[in-house]
Amino acid sequence: MSSISQGEPSRDGKTSKLPAGIYVVATPLGNLGDITRRAQEILAAADIVACEDTRVTRRLLAALGIPARRLMRYDDHAAGRTQPALIEAVQHGGSVALVSDAGTPLIADPGYKLIRAAREAGLAVTAVPGPSAAMAALSVSGLPSDRFLFLGFLPQKAKARAAALAEVKAVRATLIVFESPRRLPESLAAMADIFGPREAVVARELTKLFEETRRGSLAELAAAYAESGPPRGEVVVIIGPPAEITVAEADAAPDLDVRLTAALGGMSLRDAVADVARATGRPRREVYARALALGIARK
């Protein structure tokens, strides 16, 4: 199959009109060389470029030698204002390229409400994939990559963050977390406290001049950053999956899993957890964590 779809820039280099629709365009994390050829073509040909911050996108377009076309600021929180205009433009045959400041739109970035509205309106939505900090960090971490859970940004307040971490503690997958450098030391300490001795990687400034990955147990990383202070730049934390369960847990687990699987087939998560906790005499928290792990396994 041809990799060039109908209506995209022609082979002679001239930009032809794009078919109506929204194009979700990934942009570099910091290294301009990571822009894809197709992303450049779409950005050059789109009628409107919807972006998080017009100054950032104007700079990107200038660096790519693309004349600043019609830029519109889009933000999920203020979706009410721009969204109808973008949807209407596409309904009238226009093309909208959606970008964020860096990486893939919608991944801890604006765009979800717009894409949902476009889908509901029956409009075409096309992926123009490329850089994404979560995938880049996972790919260089050396931690298991066959099964992972992206958590986005953790809550900022200590109590809410602890609850969010406890909720995923038992999930048998590598975890991917975005964190601000300022909160990194305390966040790693909270992870060490709640997850125990799990292997982790802090990936910093990926694709940029000072790219660095630090690897160690959560406690070692927490201690290192407590001593050095918050790092500069942007970071992703990758946490390896929990260790295999103990023999005692393994003995009990099949019974728990069988009961939970049966209960989850016929009732809500909440009722299933209450029912199985009552029947097995195990703490609700543990049954809930196991139910979540089973839920992930079934996907």
Binding site for ligand SAM (CB under 6 A): 29-30, 100, 102-104, 107-109, 132-133, 178, 203-208, 234-236
Q: How far is the CB of 98 from ligand SAM (least distance, A)?
A: 11
Instruction: Identify which of residues 25 and 260 has a Cβ nearer to ligand SAM in the complex.
Output: 25
Q: Where are the beta strands (DSSP E) in the chain?
A: 21-25, 48-51, 70-73, 95-98, 125-128, 148-153, 174-179, 199-204, 212-217, 235-239
Instruction: Identify which of residues 208 and 214 has a Cβ nearer to ligand SAM in the complex.
Output: 208
Instruction: Identify which of residues 224 and 269 has a Cβ nearer to ligand SAM in the complex.
Output: 224
Q: How far is the CB of 52 from ligand SAM (least distance, A)?
A: 9
Residue nearest to ligand SAM (CB): 103
Please state, in angstroms and as integers, the Cα–Cα distance from residue 43 to each residue in 11, 24, 66, 67, following that order.
Answer: 16, 10, 8, 10
Q: How far is the CB of 30 from ligand SAM (least distance, A)?
A: 5
Cα separation, 189 vs 29, whole angstroms:
27
Instruction: Identify which of residues 34 and 41 has a Cβ nearer to ligand SAM in the complex.
Output: 34
Written as one letter, the residue type at 98 is L
Cα separation, 137 vs 128, whole angstroms:
20
Written as one letter, the residue type at 229 is G
Residue among 207, 209, 156 nearest 180 (CA) = 156
Q: How far is the CB of 88 from ligand SAM (least distance, A)?
A: 26
Instruction: Identify which of residues 222 and 238 has a Cβ nearer to ligand SAM in the complex.
Output: 238
Q: How far is the CB of 280 from ligand SAM (least distance, A)?
A: 39
